[in-house]
Structure 1
Amino acid sequence: MRSSLVIAAAAPALVAAICPDPVPQISSLQWSGTGCPSSSAGAVKSYGPMDFSEVKAFTFNQLDSDNTEACEIHLQAKTPAGWQVAIKEVAHTGDVTLKPNSELDWYTQIYWSKNAADTAIAKGSIVNSGGDTYRNGDVTVRSKVTEKWSDCSNGNDGVGILNVNFRPVINGDSGHFNFRMTTWYLDWRRC
C-alpha cells in the first residue's frame, strides 16, 4: 500500500517535469519544396498546437509523384522559459503503389536554422521484390531520429526555427506515392 501512495504522490511532479506549462504554441509556419511550394496556399492545410508528445498533423495536397518530391516545413513556436524541444520520431501517412522490382525510399532531414550543420537524417524503404504489384492505400512510414535539441527558451523569443524536410523517391521499374499527412513526435526537457 505504501508504494502505491508514493507513486501517486510522485505522478504530478513527474508530469510537471516533462510537460511544459503553459502548452507551447506554434507562432509561425512556412513551407517550401516541389511537393509543397510556398506559392500554394493549400499545400499545408492544417496543423494543431504543439502538444507534450506531438505536433498533431501537417497535411499536404501536392506531395504526390511517380518519381520524387520534397516538402520542407519551417516552424517557430512560443515555448515557456526553461524548456528545450527535439523531434524523436516522424510518421508520414499516404498511399503507395509499387510495380515488381521497385521501391520507395524516404529521407527525413531535421535541423535548427541556427545550427544547420548539426542535422539528423532518418531513412527507410518499402521494397517490392515479388511478382505482384504492391498497393497500400493507408501506409504509414516511421523514422526514429537522433534528437537535435533546440536552444533553451527564455520565454520571449521561442526556441528558434525548426526545419523538417521529407523526400520520398521511387526507384526501379515503376511506382507512385501520395503522402497526405505527417506527424512529428516530440521530446521535452528542462534546461
Structure 2
Amino acid sequence: MLANYPTLPDTSPQYKATLDLFRLLYGTMRTRKLSMVLYVASYFSIIDAWKGLRTGYKRGARMMYAIQQSWSQKSRFSHLEFLNKLIFPQPWQILKAVMLRATALLLAVFGSAAALRIKSVTHSGPACPQSDRLTWSGGLDDLTITLPDFSETIAAGQTTSCQVHLLIDEGDPGKALLLQDVTVSGGLYLSSNTKVDFYTTAYWSETASDTVSRCTCLLGVRWRKVADWSNKVAKSTSTASGSAAVFRNVDVAQRVNSASPCTGSDGYVGILNVAFRIISQGGGLVFFGKERKDVDTSPVVESLAFKWQSC
C-alpha cells in the first residue's frame, strides 16, 4: 500500500535539511531509553504537524509505519532508511514540535532524579578556604566541592578541620537521601617518624541553627551539637612516614552511609554537614594542601556520592 507514495530526491534541499535534522536528534543518542523517548516524541509530533491538512492522514500513516518498522528492527540510527519513506515539507517545524515533546517526556522519565537541588554550599573551620572561592559541580553520583585555598601545616598533637554545609531541597517526597561516600583528595607531607589521622564526620540537621549551637570538646576538637545525634557518622583512617620524610598525593576515602530524615511533601531534604579533620601524631609536622602534578598543582577536592533510599 505504501509503495506508491513518492519519496524525496536525494539532492533536494528538503531531503538534506531533514537528514541533518534527524542526525541531530538520533546521531548522538547513547541509551535505549533516550532513543525511545525521541521516537515517541517524533510519533506524536508528526501527528500534530500533519493534523488538519488534506493529506495529513495518508502522510501520518506513512510516518507511523516508518517509525514502527524502524523500532521493530531495533535500530536507533536508522534515520537514512526512515527518511527515504517520508515527505517533510517543513522539517524545522517538525524539529520544534519534536523537541517540545521530547522535553516533556524526558522530564517525566527523569523528573525525580533531576529535581534534587543543592541550593547552597557554605564552609566553616580553620582549615577551610579563607576566601569565598569555594565551588561545586556535579550531581548525585559525582558531586565535587573544590577548596582552592585549603592549605594547613600542623605540629605534633595539633588538629585542624574544615566543614562544609549543603542546603538541599526539591527532593523526592517519601524517601531519604543517603550520603554514601566521601573522598578528600590532596597533597600530604609528613616529616620523619610522623603519623596522621584523618576523620570524616557527617550528619544532617533541619536548620542552620542546629549546626552552630553549643559545642563540646573531644581530643581538642570542637564538635558542633545537632538536634539529632543519632544520625552522626564518623570514620577514620591513618597513614605514617618512616625514618625519612615523604610527600605524596592521597585520596582519603570513607564509606559513611549517612541518611537524611524522610523527605516531606514540600521536598525539603535538610542541611548536610560534612567535617574533615586532620590530627598530627608523633614528633613531626604534617602538611595537607594542593596536590603536585609534575610542574603544576591541583587544589584540594572533596567528592560526595549519594543515592535515594526508602524511609
Question: Taking structure 1 as the reference length, what is the TM-score of the superposition?
Answer: 0.77
Whether the 8 Å CA contact 2:144–2:301 is kept in 1: the answer is: no
2:11 alignment partner in structure 1: none
Q: Which amino acid aligns with 2:259?
A: W
Tell me which of the two structures has the higher relative contact order, counting C-alpha pairs closer than 8 angstroms and 6 or more residues apart. Answer: 1
* 2:136 is aligned with 1:75: no
CA RMSD of aligned residues (A): 2.8
Once the two structures are superposed, residues 31-85 of structure 1 have per-residue CA deviations (whole angstroms, 9 ceiling, x without a partner) of 1111127xx333x521014x23232223241341224321111111123332321
Q: Which amino acid aligns with 2:121?
A: L
Whether the 8 Å CA contact 1:150–1:159 is kept in 2: the answer is: yes
| CA distance in 2 between partners of 1:102 and 1:143 (Å) | 22
Shift of 1:149: 1.3
The structure 1 residue matched to 2:154, chosen from 66, 69, 73, is: 66
**Structure 1 pair 122–184 and aligned structure 2 pair: CA distance change class (3 A):** same
The structure 1 residue matched to 2:137, chosen from 48, 55, 59, is: 48
* 2:250 is aligned with 1:139: yes
1:101 alignment partner in structure 2: 193
Once the two structures are superposed, residues 10-42 of structure 1 have per-residue CA deviations (whole angstroms, 9 ceiling, x without a partner) of xx9xxx9x99432422112221111127xx333
Q: Between Structure 1 and Structure 2, which shows a larger proportion of helix residues?
A: 2
Once the two structures are superposed, residues 81-137 of structure 1 have per-residue CA deviations (whole angstroms, 9 ceiling, x without a partner) of 323212111111111111222111111111112444121000001112x2221211x
Q: 3-state SS of the aligned residue for 1:21? A: helix
**Structure 1 pair 19–102 and aligned structure 2 pair: CA distance change class (3 A):** farther
Once the two structures are superposed, residues 134-174 of structure 1 have per-residue CA deviations (whole angstroms, 9 ceiling, x without a partner) of 211x21111112x2211222363521111111111221121
Structural mapping, 1:152-171, within 5 Å: 152-154=262-264, 156-171=266-281
Q: Which amino acid aligns with 1:61?
A: D
2:304 alignment partner in structure 1: 184
1:29 alignment partner in structure 2: 121
Identify which range, 161-170 or 65-74, moves more after superposition.
65-74
Q: Moved runs in structure 1, 4+ residues, more than 4 A?
A: none
**Structure 1 pair 85–63 and aligned structure 2 pair: CA distance change class (3 A):** farther
1:127 alignment partner in structure 2: 240
**Structure 1 pair 131–111 and aligned structure 2 pair: CA distance change class (3 A):** same
| CA distance in 2 between partners of 1:184 and 1:159 (Å) | 16
**Structure 1 pair 113–158 and aligned structure 2 pair: CA distance change class (3 A):** same
Question: Taking structure 2 as the reference length, what is the TM-score of the superposition?
Answer: 0.49
| CA distance in 2 between partners of 1:178 and 1:167 (Å) | 11
Q: Between Structure 1 and Structure 2, which shows a larger proportion of strand residues?
A: 1
The structure 1 residue matched to 2:178, chosen from 86, 89, 102, is: 86
| CA distance in 2 between partners of 1:63 and 1:188 (Å) | 34
Shift of 1:176: 2.5
Q: 3-state SS of the aligned residue for 2:164? A: strand
Q: 3-state SS of the aligned residue for 2:121? A: strand
Q: 3-state SS of the aligned residue for 1:69? A: strand
Name the larger-Rg structure. 2
Q: How many residue pairs end up in the alignment?
A: 172
| CA distance in 2 between partners of 1:19 and 1:184 (Å) | 21
Q: 3-state SS of the aligned residue for 1:107? A: strand
